[in-house]
Amino acid sequence: MAAERRVGVAVDFSDCSRKALKWAVDNIIREGDHLILITVRPENNYDEGDQIQLWEATGSPLTPLSEFSDPVIMKRYGVKADSETLDIVSTAAKEKQVEVLMKVYWGDPREKICEAIDKIPLSCLIVGNRGLGKIKRVILGSVSNYLVNNGSCPVTVVKLHEA
């Protein structure tokens, strides 16, 4: 019996993260895998007194698809999942018989995604790339570049636009 694979996909519900998710479903995910969506929100992005404060340091619990498909539940996490992303993961769950989970972190995406790789732990990670030019990448930094260089599992970067 093969070891359980946990395939992580970093999502921010943008076009580039949807493309990375679709690529992962089409090319990496296979029956029996766990597809884990990792999203990182800005620090303190929750209502005062909310239970999210308890999870700020460690991230939310792993949330099953049935729960993160519910806008009311996701509002508690400060996340607004888009219908295209939900459609991709719902289809993957049915067609490929994979368990889809989401984990929400608060803070710096570079640090928190690296933390997710180690704590969950992930077998591999797929991330999107916005295709910043060299100057913007130097000024803004590149999350995908950081993850490739610092992640402790294989990291695949899916470009939004072909070169």
pLDDT tens, per residue, the chain with 163 residues: 356 899 999 999 999 999 999 999 999 999 999 999 999 988 765 554 455 666 777 889 999 999 989 988 888 888 887 899 999 999 999 999 999 999 999 999 999 999 999 999 999 999 998 765 565 545 445 888 899 999 999 999 998 776 5
Q: Could you give the C-alpha distances from 37 to 1, 93, 126, 149, in angstroms and in order?
A: 25, 13, 10, 20
Q: Which CATH number fits domain 6-159: 3.40.50.720, 3.40.50.620, 3.30.750.200, 3.40.30.10?
A: 3.40.50.620
Provide the 8-state DSSP code for 136: H
Burial 62-79 (b: 16+ CB within 10 A, else e): bbebeebbeeeebeebbb
